[in-house]
Amino acid sequence: MEVFDMREFDGHELVIFGHDAQSRLRAIIAIHSTVLGPAAGGCRIWPYATTTEAVADVLRLSRSMSYKNAMAGLPFGGGKAVIIGDARTVKTPELFAAFGRMVDSLRGRYVTAEDVGTTTADMAHVARVTRYVSGLGRSPGEAGGDPAPKTALGVFLGIQAAVKFRLGRADLAGLTVAVQGAGGVGYHLCGLLSAAGARLKVADVQPRAVERACDEFKAAPVPAVQVLEVEADVLAPCALGAILNTRSIAGLKAPVVAGAANNQLARDADGEALRAAGVLYAPDYVINAGGIISVAREYYGGTEAQVIEDIQGIPARLTEIFERARHENRTTNEIADQMARERLSHGREPRRLVA
């Protein structure tokens, strides 16, 4: 595996591999950029089939965090961590302590938090050995805690903006939203959509997650393998990434794609396929920034009210991207990437090192 030659390698500053035999930790931390501040991004646990697959994922995710934090105007660079393993079997206090020591060895260049497969309780174990962690418990009125509800709020507001731009609707009442993934973020998003009067179609690889959404929000269940092709006004991907490719885009029946999943496009060029199909795509790292906004306010000090206020800026950023894409006859992901790179270029020149 030649990291420097991988398509996903984008001038990353640092990539480190960590192993602890006693706790069975096998982890990778990728720091894409510290131009705007310490690299921040969650820790994901996933049973990657190969180390190469894990490296590719952490590289994609960390670059996305650089762009996400830049677009959200946060004093953070971009980073990400992945732990190789099944979250149902590998999670122990010892594992997270070992991971925390790995984070601490970077002396603040990387700030971690929860992500797919990890929780606030897991981050509490990390916090016992390092202060470079966020997404912990909080006191009433303070910023922090589980970032999933904040991510969901940003996505909900972003869906409203996309629906207004593409469908000319000022509200979601009576519209059908297909939600792929009813876990942490997806579940909270379903609650917000249901309260706004939207009709839900929900899919998840975990049957219990679908049952809960159906029971609480009167959602209609959809097989996970069919959710990308169902009739809907909005498709909200809230599971894993790389779901939008030439084949899946050809089967889309929703004019708007706006969801919480990271790296929804399998390739950057797939944004053009969406545009050609008349589908409005809300760039994932712009619409799903609510969680990292909460993390930033917690890490630097802030209130719950400030988090909500910051998240209210997501629709305006998306609308600017939509309008520029239409005016310049370009894809929304191209416009978003350009805007993010411009913001990154205004910072200091980062050090580049891969270990």
- The C-alpha angle 112, 115, 117, rounded to 5 degrees, equals 125
- Both structure tokens of 155: 């996505």
Residue 178's region, left for phi above 0, alpha for psi from -120 to 50, else beta, is beta
Residues found in the chain: 355
Task: Say how far apart CA 114 and CA 137 lie, in whole Å.
Answer: 12
- What 3-state DSSP class applies to 126? helix
The residue behind tokens 């580049």 is 352
Residue 168, Ramachandran bin (φ over 0: left; ψ between -120 and 50: alpha; else beta)? left
Tokens of 17: 């591999």
Tell me which DSSP letter residue 47 carries.
-
Residue pointed to by tokens 């670059």: 63
3-state helix, strand, coil split of the chain in percent (to 5) is: 45, 15, 40
Q: What's the rounded Cα separation, in Å, for the pair 350 and 11?
A: 10
Place of tokens 């991207």: 321
**91 a catalytic residue:** no
Per the CB < 8 A criterion, the answer to whether 190 and 148 are in contact is no
From the list 80, 91, 150, 201, the catalytic residue is 80
How far apart are the C-alpha atoms of 298 and 146, rounded to whole Å? 11
Q: Side chain identity at 56, as an amino acid letter?
A: A
**306 Cβ contact partners less than 8 Å away, ≥ 6 residues apart:** 143, 297
Q: How many CB atoms within 10 Å of residue 268?
A: 11
Q: What is the C-alpha end-to-end distance of the chain, expressed in Å?
A: 14
The residues annotated as belonging to the active site are 80
